[in-house]
Structures are given as structure tokens and as C-alpha cells.
Amino acid sequence: MKVMTFNLRYDNTTDGYNQWSLRKEAMLKMIQDHKADVIGTQECTQVIFDYLQAHCDDYISVGDGRNADLSGERCAILIKASHYDLLETETVWLNGNFNLAGDMDKKEGFARICTMALVQNKKTGQKIRIFNAHLAFQSKSTIRRNGRYLYLYIQQFKKTKIPFVLLGDFNSPITHPIHTRLLRKFKEAYTELKVDRPNTFHAFGIPNGIEAIDFIYTDKLSFKNVLTDIRLIEGHYPSDHYPVIAELL
């Protein structure tokens, strides 16, 4: 299975040269070039979601918006329909009540979510559960709470014994305590493969980037390789994050 995690940067018109309407083709090319089986996106607003649905014909797109009315930014998951069937999906909130739409900490100012998709390989019949999350960055208490509830949500499915892949923008580096719990139980791509980790958040081209905050985890699968794609495409950065792509066995 080939997977990608990619924070798309929402369609903010104040981004000037880097606004989504000017870089959307570069974003699409980045996605299409890698031909991933599963793509976990963050900051996927309605206009971006609609664009992906219109231009990624071979993908099933799932995920609710983070607001109380299910609007707003999604942690949308794209699943290659020719390779995988979608068996179930849901979006949960990471502030304390998984099923309370829009649940958020006022200190953070935004609801934080995880979208889950259970997929099945059409050829082999293997089932894999995909988690795609976008965690807090402003409130220290919310960051810790998000990490705890993300872990608890994943552990709810432990009894199924179905392997999982966790994708996401954690807004915290691998040294942060929210990763400590995950690393005790699960495998993270760069850590497992023991290769140098590039920074993923680059704010549209700051040299060498700012910080590595986008990650791919698994439990029972093994990482074959991992890549952070730092390309500039046709004069545009596809986003203010570089995508991380990994193959798992």
C-alpha cells in the first residue's frame, strides 16, 4: 500500500501569490504524480474537496467538516477505487466527546478531528483501517488532549486486529510528548527506516523548512520506504507543507 499525508493549506485569499486558486494545479499534479492508494489531506475546505472530487476520478473521497454543522475544513481521505473498497468511515472530534460535532477548546479556537476509513484490498481481501488527523497548535492543553484522544480512538479498534495506518498533521515535532505514547506502541516511518527526516512545514519556501510536523504511523504493517517531496511545481509550491509519502508491506 502506498499512502500520502498532505496538508493542502486552505483557500486563503490573503496568501497572495501562494493562494490556492493560483497553486491548485500544482497541488493536483503533486497528488497525481505519486499515484498513492490512500491520501490523507488536512485543511481540505469545501472548494478544495469539490476540486479533488472533480479531478481525481479514480478516488473515493470521504470525511466531514470539523464544524458543528459538518462544514469547514476536512481531514478528507482519498481512496483509490480501482484498488480498494470502502467498507466504513466516520469523523470524530478530539476534544473529549468523539461524537459531538464541532467540539472544541476555546483556547485553541478550532475543532480538531480525525477521519477514519476502513478499506479492503480488491485483490487480496486484506482490510486496513486508515486514520487521518489534524491536531492543535495554539493551546498546549489542547495539543495534549488531542494526542490523548487520538490514541484512545485508535485503541478502540484494537480488538478487531485489523492493521492500521495513521496519517496526519500533528503540528508538533517527533520529540513532543504526544508522540511518545504513539512511539511506545506503533511504528513511525522515518524513525523505523532510520533515514534523515526533512522538515515538512515550510511556509511556502523558507529555506530548509521550519519543522517536521507531518507523520505516518502503523502498527502491524512494515515500512518499505518514505519520501518527503520538496518540489516546486511550475513556479508554485503546492502547499505550505510538503507531503510525506510511504510504501507499506
pLDDT tens digits in sequence order for the chain, 249 residues long: 999 999 999 999 999 999 999 999 999 999 999 999 999 999 999 999 999 999 999 999 999 999 999 999 999 999 999 999 999 999 999 999 999 999 999 999 999 999 999 999 999 999 999 999 999 999 999 999 999 999 999 999 999 999 999 999 999 999 999 999 999 999 999 999 999 999 999 999 999 999 999 999 999 999 999 999 999 999 999 999 999 999 999
For the chain, what is the domain count? 1
> Range of 16's domain?
2-248
Q: Strand 187-188 to strand 214-218: parallel, antiparallel, or no bridges (unpaired)?
A: antiparallel
| CATH number assigned to the domain comprising residue 111 | 3.60.10.10
pLDDT of res. 67:
98
pLDDT of res. 128:
98
Query: Is 238:23 a contact under the CB 8 Å cutoff?
Result: yes
- Three-state DSSP at 177 gives helix
pLDDT of res. 147:
97
Three cell numbers written together for 88 = 466504513
pLDDT of res. 138:
92
Residues 112, 169: Cα–Cα separation, whole Å? 11
- Three-state DSSP at 58 gives coil
pLDDT of res. 232:
97
Q: What angle do CA 51, 56, 57 make, to 5 degrees?
A: 120
Q: What is the pTM of this model?
A: 0.98
pLDDT in tens, 193-220: 999 999 999 999 999 999 999 999 999 9
pLDDT of res. 105:
95
